[in-house]
Amino acid sequence: MSDLSWVDVNLELPWVLGHEFTDVEEEVGKEVKNFKKGDRVIVPFSQGGGSCEQCLSGHHTICDNLEMMGFSYWGGFGKYTAIPNADLNMVHLPESVGFEEEASVGCRFMTSFQAVTEQAKVKPGEWAAVYGVGVVGLAAAHIANAARANVIVVDISQEKLDLAKKAGAAVTITVKKRTRGKQYMK
């Protein structure tokens, strides 16, 4: 089981899960300025309070007082959910993007975006290697390609490598499955 001790988790049943969703605004709080009823929105998995050093420097998804829907409070599988600090934590969903496509962006793309742009600081023209193209790795390949890097992806699954190619990977490398600590390249 994941170590979530760094989050204020209190999953007393009954509980509503759901940490990736998009939806239409049903109602907004009095202090919300940037959204109105009927707006299509997406919500990142990790949400900020707005006042800590991380939030003030624009990194509210790594807030010191992080809230995570589906863990800190009831999530997106319910008919309704209330998003705290909506002006900070919600994003308008463009009409050109469908709900299903966008629902996957709030967690895995957000995670990969931080890794590619903030941690690795990938620049145009650089080579960037992504080891393992599950959903987070595939998003990392997509984002690094959008950052105009030359992306190398490494995985044991040809199917996943083919997907990464569609997401813009310049080079794909197939490795054989790890067997008792030994790994072999083709």
Binding residues for Zn ion, rule: CB under 5 A, are 48-49, 52, 55, 63
Going by C-alpha positions, the residue among 186, 132, 184 that lies closest to residue 161 is 132
CB of 27 to Zn ion, least distance (A): 25
Going by C-alpha positions, the residue among 71, 72, 52, 69 that lies closest to residue 60 is 52
Judge contact between 63 and 85, C-beta under 8 A: no
User: Which one, 66 or 138, has the nearer CB to Zn ion?
Assistant: 66
User: Which one, 52 or 175, has the nearer CB to Zn ion?
Assistant: 52
CB of 52 to Zn ion, least distance (A): 3
Query: Omega before 14 cis (within 30°)?
Result: yes
Residue tagged 């996943």 (tokens): 160
Alpha carbons 111 and 91: distance in angstroms, whole number: 16
Query: What residues contact 117, with CB distance under 8 A and at least 6 apart?
Result: 143, 147
CB of 47 to Zn ion, least distance (A): 9
Q: What letter does residue 5 receive in the DSSP assignment? A: T
User: Which one, 52 or 170, has the nearer CB to Zn ion?
Assistant: 52
State the Cα torsion 116-119-121-126 to the nearest 10°. -60
Q: At residue 45, what are phi and psi to the nearest 5 degrees?
A: -60, -45
CB of 7 to Zn ion, least distance (A): 13
CB of 32 to Zn ion, least distance (A): 18
User: Which one, 49 or 168, has the nearer CB to Zn ion?
Assistant: 49
